[in-house]
Chain A
């Protein structure tokens, strides 16, 4: 494994991708997949930054305060995410597109504000009900966050995790459940008339996605060595969305490529680091407008190519096959 990683790095290092960059690329690929699951089921949820935060905080506390091994912390954190996602999903997933987006943005903010203030909440609880008489109490460190986290995540963890996820994902997609996801996205009501339990499918996907985002949070927390609430705000939610949108949601490779590209590009184009945000916005805008299926979407490219050629050669538009 080490040899393999070294081989990869020796190829990409010259263009500016060092091991830490590679690690974040892998983490973001996981986040991309978590968003991909949601979009594939037609759920526009921006809650995953929140679940990432939960995963990061829970695991970091476990490894730092209770000396958990990374693997054990990962399992616990992911389960916690699932347990939180379930009661959130049941009511919230009844909402659709815009309303779901707003509600999940709200969820993300509540999570962020919770971690910002949880120390004070515990403090006032201790002082009011237990007469602890404390002046301050520090668990997650409020705005300054949890510091001095051990850097436990290794590149091979991420590679193995990603491969396992891809394996499970491809299997899932070829199953009845995978087909149901696609059906729910395209027409919920018809899907229900076909015997698909839409509520179940949506909640299941929401929970799976939350678990993946949580896992990414675990790895990320043990890479950055510090976990603050500000790392998981609306910007992060949008980044996660961008990975899936850039890569596309027609095949599983899409969000992975999306995560890779958007993480690596600023490093590769280091000279343009200043324009990184402009670039991100532009990518999101251009891809959704001109390449709706994302980068990894053969059909979309073909269409784009056809229309470009039409414009260049001035030929009239070809009639589309079929009607309806």
Chain B
């Protein structure tokens, strides 16, 4: 469903991605690991349209998306979270999810202003669904709290909820458990495992290897912008190339 062919991205002289080939199949959870500065976030930025490859192709459902505007990629069914949380801090938890649902609204501005029945019906179903998402991520109690005032763990969960609110088929998670304690991490892992059952594919960047083992079907390893290994979590863990990349040469 997601195919990267020979994707490269350089910033001036810095080669952040070089010749990356990667696939994510429907209902699979794919991990992406690599040392700091390997280019993982850059990869997700390129898929989600915030950045564009210098060369290579990115296909989603067979369609090239590497030149598309980010909102069109989002509406095609790609959602993401951010490594350093980027919620709409002044908006409430509930509103954050509503904003995530933007692409699903069909009512035009005129219908909204006229308070047309179709608009009201749509608004009701969207709100209903937003509440379900909040419940799923245990955010009901803080629905009306500005996102900036949420505790850290709740902010991370809200990022997930908001991404799912866009009704995606592929979710890109950029270090979703960064800064969480082990029990929070495990709980989030459970949530990630539910996504394939809901018909979603997942590409998750993680440093926490136990989470990778818990959720991933396969893992890619990125180092200096290149994929140096690919396989099941166990295969990758024992790959000498990967160990060297993480520990450095003796």
Contacts of A323 in B (CB 8 A): 151-152
Output the nearest chain B residue to A321 by Cβ-Cβ distance: B149
**Selected interface stretch from A43-51, A180-188, A234-242:** A180-188
Expressed in whole angstroms, the Cα–Cα distance for A322 and B147 within the complex equals 9
| Proximity bits, B130-162, A CB within 8 Å = 1, else 0 | 000000000000000000111110110000001
Expressed in whole angstroms, the Cα–Cα distance for A199 and B107 within the complex equals 19
Count: A-B pairs, CB below 8 Å = 102
Contacting A175 at CB < 8 Å: which of B70, B79, B80, B109? B109
Q: How far is the CB of A37 from chain B (nearest CB, A)?
A: 13
Interface residues on B, range: 35 or more
Contacts of B105 in A (CB 8 A): 176
Expressed in whole angstroms, the Cα–Cα distance for A276 and B143 within the complex equals 45
Expressed in whole angstroms, the Cα–Cα distance for A175 and B110 within the complex equals 10
Q: Knowing A179-B98, A179-B102, A195-B166, say if A171 contacts B86 (CB, 8 Å).
A: no
Most chain B CB neighbours (cut-off 10 Å) among A195, A197, A198:
A195
Assess the A194–B107 pair: CB atoms within 8 A.
no
| Proximity bits, B173-193, A CB within 8 Å = 1, else 0 | 000000000000000000000
New A-B pairs, 18, CB < 8 Å, besides A190-B86, A194-B102, A199-B69: A168-B113, A171-B114, A171-B115, A175-B119, A179-B98, A182-B91, A182-B95, A183-B88, A186-B88, A186-B89, A186-B91, A190-B88, A191-B99, A192-B69, A194-B103, A321-B149, A321-B151, A322-B150
The 23 listed contacts between A and B (C-beta, < 8 Å) are A171-B112, A171-B114, A175-B107, A176-B112, A179-B91, A179-B102, A182-B91, A183-B91, A186-B88, A186-B89, A189-B70, A190-B82, A190-B86, A192-B50, A192-B70, A192-B74, A193-B48, A193-B79, A194-B162, A195-B71, A195-B74, A195-B103, A196-B71
Mostly, the A contact residues are: helix
Query: A65 near B: Cβ within 8 Å?
Result: no
Contacting B148 at CB < 8 Å: which of A175, A189, A324? A324
Query: B85 near A: Cβ within 8 Å?
Result: yes
Assess the A182–B79 pair: CB atoms within 8 A.
no
Contacts of B155 in A (CB 8 A): 322, 324
Expressed in whole angstroms, the Cα–Cα distance for A197 and B69 within the complex equals 9
Assess the B112–A182 pair: CB atoms within 8 A.
no
Contacts of B85 in A (CB 8 A): 324
Assess the B109–A197 pair: CB atoms within 8 A.
no
Output the nearest chain B residue to A293 by Cβ-Cβ distance: B90
Contacts of A183 in B (CB 8 A): 88, 91, 99, 102
Query: A67 near B: Cβ within 8 Å?
Result: no
Output the nearest chain A residue to B109 by Cβ-Cβ distance: A177
Expressed in whole angstroms, the Cα–Cα distance for A197 and B103 within the complex equals 9
Assess the B95–A179 pair: CB atoms within 8 A.
yes
Q: How far is the CB of A145 from chain B (nearest CB, A)?
A: 37
Query: A320 near B: Cβ within 8 Å?
Result: yes
Contacts of A190 in B (CB 8 A): 82, 86, 88
| Proximity bits, B91-129, A CB within 8 Å = 1, else 0 | 100010011101101010100111100010000000000
